[in-house]
């Protein structure tokens, strides 16, 4: 996933985001859901994956159709319909393929710098087409439980894993108390991000990310 803007230029060496986050990895979609699905070559899988999230970002879940995906991917409709019975099934298969190491935060040696790298990068992601696709996924998950489960096991699990690693490293350095990962204090910063972006529909930027880290996350985390 390519991220643009000044935030990435500043924190790019700290945080890397692979195609496994909010977009499938090059390995393609999970294949365990239906053994009868016909295998496609990896390049076609990747084209379909990109098309799924492109259409989702541009048209939302309501506008996501198998025909639109086939058109955007440049493949025949038969290649889509033979493998997936519905658009929900299509989304689930790609969400389940999200890579466990999709987000990597380099250990800078300090909790503040690690958090700044992580939160500013997430701001860029959520303000990108990937963020628009995520918003559509969250809305669709209300009526499609399978999508909700796949999102939790895929992209959301990637975030949880990365965030826990950042906090665990800080605990190992003596900056935080052990076991902080599961505390309400640890949830506060990401919750403010979500509330501003999803509930209020307001923009996330580097300035806001820095304020959340310095005014909310660090005081709460280090007070324990």
CATH number at residue 51: 1.10.10.60
Do 87 and 165 have their domain in common?
no
Do 70 and 160 have their domain in common?
no
| pLDDT at residue 2, as a whole number | 34
pLDDT averaged per 10 residues, the chain (length 224): 38 52 46 44 79 93 94 90 90 76 78 95 91 92 93 89 94 93 94 95 95 98 87
Instruction: Tell me if 34 is assigned to some domain.
Output: no
| pLDDT at residue 188, as a whole number | 96
Nearest to 76 by CA among 38, 110, 106: 38
Domain containing 79: what range? 42-95
For 185, the token pair is 């204090």
Do 140 and 66 have their domain in common?
no
| pLDDT at residue 93, as a whole number | 86
| pLDDT at residue 95, as a whole number | 86
**CB-hemisphere CA count at 13 Å for 113?**
10
User: Residue 70 and residue 52: Cα distance in Å, rounded?
Assistant: 9
Do 56 and 78 have their domain in common?
yes
| pLDDT at residue 32, as a whole number | 40
Do 179 and 105 have their domain in common?
yes
Instruction: Tell me if 154 is assigned to some domain.
Output: yes
Predicted TM-score of the model (pTM): 0.78
**In sequence order, which ranges of 1-41 are alpha helices (DSSP H)?**
6-11
Provide the domain count of the chain: 2
| pLDDT at residue 195, as a whole number | 96
Do 53 and 125 have their domain in common?
no
């Amino acid at each position: 996933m390519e991220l643009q803007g000044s935030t990435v230029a500043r924190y790019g060496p700290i945080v890397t985001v692979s195609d496994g986050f909010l977009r499938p990895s090059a390995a393609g979609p999970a294949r365990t859901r239906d053994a009868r699905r016909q295998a496609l070559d990896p390049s076609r899988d990747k084209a379909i994956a990109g098309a799924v999230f492109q259409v989702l970002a541009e048209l939302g879940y309501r506008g996501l159709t198998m025909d639109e995906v086939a058109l955007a991917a440049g493949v025949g409709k038969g290649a889509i319909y033979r493998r997936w019975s519905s658009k929900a099934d299509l989304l689930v298969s790609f969400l389940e393929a999200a890579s466990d190491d999709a987000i990597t935060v380099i250990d800078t040696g300090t909790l503040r710098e690690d958090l700044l790298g992580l939160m500013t990068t997430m701001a860029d992601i959520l303000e990108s087409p990937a963020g628009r696709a995520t918003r559509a996924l969250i809305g669709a998950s209300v009526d499609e439980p399978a999508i909700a489960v796949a999102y939790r096991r895929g992209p959301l699990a990637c975030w949880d894993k990365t965030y826990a690693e950042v906090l665990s490293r800080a605990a190992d350095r003596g900056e935080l108390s052990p076991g902080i990962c599961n505390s309400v204090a640890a949830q506060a910063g990401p919750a403010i991000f979500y509330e501003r972006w999803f509930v209020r529909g307001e923009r996330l930027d580097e300035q806001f990310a820095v304020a959340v880290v310095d005014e909310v996350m660090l005081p709460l985390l280090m007070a324990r």
